[in-house]
Amino acid sequence: MFKHAIKFILLSLLSFSATATDLKVGDTAPNFKLQSTDGHFYQLSDYLGKQTLVLAWYPMANTHGCTLECRSLVQKGHLIREYNAVYMMASVDDLEDNKDFAEKQKADFPMLSDPSKKTAKAYDVLNFVRVASRVTFYIGKEGKILKIDEDINAETAAEDIAANLKQLGIEKSN
């Protein structure tokens, strides 16, 4: 009960922490190597020259907004998979919390854990409550940031990502 109250308070404070990232469209995205709930390590450099990477940062596993966003990606991820793109969610939660979250939501995509907060700092999404702000980065095959979306509707995340991929001119998958 107490843990859930703390999460609620932290997430309530997030609404006051809307700070924009210092990264800009056209910048080279910071490389990362993070462990996923599937046990594998993922890094940006694995996708260079191959696919666009959509990296969706979220504040905290098993909370309302994050659950809505994850469900959207699970239920409508096929819209994103129509493009030559891979998508991942990332948070500063520890791997066990993210594994529990991924299992509950039946996540069929990588959910990355950054408990050291090093990658969150590099992407400038770590807010004053020490969790990641909800920001989605679209990173092109060349490693350059194509779009930074800080206006996320958790319920329509998959549809919005697919629409952004289309708007960015990302090619369709074969």
The residue among 156, 153, 158 whose CA lies nearest residue 107 is: 158
Q: What is the pLDDT of residue 10?
A: 46
Q: Which amino acid is at 50?
A: K
Threshold 0.85, pTM exceeds: yes
pLDDT tens, position by position, 35-53: 999 999 999 999 999 999 9
Question: 25-167 belongs to which homologous superfamily?
Answer: Glutaredoxin (3.40.30.10)
Higher pLDDT, 2 or 109: 109
**Quick check: 162 and 79 in contact, CB under 8 A?**
yes
What percent of the chain stands above pLDDT 90?
74
Give the CA distances from residue 135 to residues 82, 100, 104, 161, in Å, rounded to whole numbers and listed in that order. 22, 22, 23, 12
Q: What is the pLDDT of residue 2?
A: 47
160: number of Cβ within 10 Å:
20
Q: What is the pLDDT of residue 18?
A: 41
Q: Is the pLDDT of residue 15 over 80?
A: no
The predicted model gives 21-43 an average pLDDT of 93
